[in-house]
Structure 1
Amino acid sequence: MPPRTSPSERQRRLGAELRKLRVRAGMSGDTAAGLIGAERTRISHIERGRVDVPRNGLYKLLRAYRCPEGAYFDSLMDMAHESGRGWWNGFSDTIGPAGRDLAELESRSTVLRTHEPLLVPGLLQTKDYARAVLDTTEADAQRAERYAQFREARQRVLTGESAVPFHAIIHEAALHIRVGGTAVMRRQLLRLIEVSRLPNVTVQVYPFEAGNYAAHTQAFVIYGTTAPELDTVYLEHPTQSLFLRDGDQLDKYAKMFERLSALALAPINPESAPESHESRDSLSLVQHVMYTL
């Protein structure tokens, strides 16, 4: 098969990891190609995610690159042999490669952490809220509806037997922006309280009085895996989505998230009794905003 022109994020990531390991081992592309009985150009295509590598070939490369056996080794082997197909392929008529990459990343993650300064995170949005957001960027009503359906389908990652732990930090500003009007916003705030009842979901609000923090204006998502080296940070921009893989960048965003969590109010706990709220917390703030809409 000819090299693919649009590899998925998973395929690009696998290739980038293999190149990093090869360079770290001080091995040339020609030598690596010889290990799997291929031409030098094939190693180049593999490292760009443009062609697949057979399972036995990948195993030979990882051993030759002195990649220690463990979670990282096993995850690379798994990444190479995943089909990339899932429920998200049913939305190929509307959703582009970046959106499908997100759904695949979510399906492979062991923990999700997100920070949103101006909007409720997509995985927590009601359908009406999502439609109101999408209506501002998508003029075609049918396409906007498909986008909303796709966002709703992605939310299944938070429920069921294999539900992923999810931690969201939402700036207070997002609670006050009346996306879709008062009724839509009130239902959305109720949804934040309802979804917090899930044992795997943690929602914190970053209040105005917490002041400025360098990261509090930037939306980002951290996709965690069983091998921390393969974590991914996602930054959404109007013209291009960015997937960060560099270890220093991953560490930077993980520390930013920890700092944001420390500055934010205590998580929403819908089961707590009113008299137990000795100090302001995320639940009391969400309720206050909801009742003043």
Structure 2
Amino acid sequence: MPPRNHPSERQRRLGAELRKLRTRARMSGDEAGALLDADRTRVSHIEAGRVDVPRNGLYKLLRAYGCPDGPYFEALMEMAQSRGVGWWDEFRDVMARVALDLAEVESRATSIRIHEPLCIPGMFQTEEYAHTVMEAVSPDIGPTDRFVQFRMARQRVLAGESSIPFHAVIHEAALRVRVGGPEIMRKQMRKLIEVARMPNVTIQIFPFERGAYPAFSRPFVLFGGPTRELDTVYIEHSLKIDFLGDGADVDDYSKMFERLVDLALGPVDPETAPESHIGRDSLSLIQHAMYEL
């Protein structure tokens, strides 16, 4: 089978991890190829995610690279065996490869931490809000129904038996930017409060008065992997999207997120009675912004 031109993020990440392990083991591409009865070109394709490595071949590589038994070893074996098939396949006709990759990464995550400076995170959006955002950001996209359906389908990671910890720090600007009319915004803020009732969801608002802050104007998502080595940072730039798996990058963004958590208002707690609030918290700021519409 010829090398694939567009490997998925999972395939790219598996290849990157194998390259990292081979480099640490100080093995050449020729030496790794000999373990697979192949040449260095095939090893290069494997490490770029362009071709698959059979289970027995992967086992040989991991042993030769000195990867110890444990969760990381098993996670790499599982990544190689995964077909990457999921609910997102029904959207392949309209969604770009990177959007499908995002859905697959979300489905495999053990935790999600997100910072969003300008709009409500897609995981919390109402259909009306999502429609309005897409029509404004991509006016040439055509009918947005299927794109909104995809965004709504992604929200399934928040609930159900496979629900995972989800922590969001949202800048106050996202509450103030008028997306659609007042009723769309009111409904969106009510949904924020409803989502915060989920036991696995934490929502904090970063207020204007805190001034400049870590990750200024930079949205990012931290996906927890089955092991710390497989954590991933997702960053949206104006012209491209990056998935970062380097440990130093993950550490930097993790520290940045913790700083945001420390500086943001206390988490939304919809069960707390208004009279018990001490000072301003995230819930009171959302309610204030909603009543000002």
Which residues of structure 1 form unaligned runs of 5+? Answer: none
Percent identity over the alignment? 61
- For the pair 1:107 / 2:94, whether they are aligned, the reply is no
Deviations along 1:153-191, whole A, 9 cap, x unmatched? 000110101112110000001101111121100100000
Counterparts in 2 of 1:278 and 1:171: CA distance versus 1, 3 Å: same
Structure-1 residue corresponding to 2:212: 212
User: Residues of 2 paired with 1:123 and 1:143: CA distance?
Assistant: 21
- For the pair 1:186 / 2:186, whether they are aligned, the reply is yes
Tell me the TM-score normalised to structure 1 length.
Answer: 0.98
User: Residues of 2 paired with 1:99 and 1:56: CA distance?
Assistant: 31
User: Residues of 1 paired with 2:68 and 2:218: CA distance?
Assistant: 36
User: Residues of 1 paired with 2:144 and 2:67: CA distance?
Assistant: 45
Structure-2 residue corresponding to 1:78: 78
Q: Does structure 1 retain, via aligned residues, the 8 Å contact 2:214–2:259?
A: no
- For the pair 1:29 / 2:29, whether they are aligned, the reply is yes
Tell me the TM-score normalised to structure 2 length.
Answer: 0.98
User: Residues of 2 paired with 1:6 and 1:292: CA distance?
Assistant: 47
1:85 shift after superposition: 1.1
Q: Does structure 1 retain, via aligned residues, the 8 Å contact 2:214–2:260?
A: no
Counterparts in 2 of 1:143 and 1:242: CA distance versus 1, 3 Å: farther
Deviations along 1:77-118, whole A, 9 cap, x unmatched? 111111011110100111010000000000000000000000
Taking the TM superposition and a 5 Å limit, the aligned residue runs for 1:1-293 are: 1-139=1-139, 142-293=142-293
1:19 alignment partner AA:
R
211-220 vs 28-37, which moves further? 211-220
Counterparts in 2 of 1:2 and 1:22: CA distance versus 1, 3 Å: same
User: Residues of 1 paired with 2:156 and 2:142: CA distance?
Assistant: 22
1:140 shift after superposition: 5.0
Q: Does structure 2 retain, via aligned residues, the 8 Å contact 1:138–1:144?
A: no
1:239 shift after superposition: 2.2
Cα RMSD after superposing both structures? 1.1
1:137 shift after superposition: 2.8
User: Residues of 2 paired with 1:155 and 1:233: CA distance?
Assistant: 19
1:38 shift after superposition: 1.7
Q: Does structure 2 retain, via aligned residues, the 8 Å contact 1:11–1:49?
A: yes
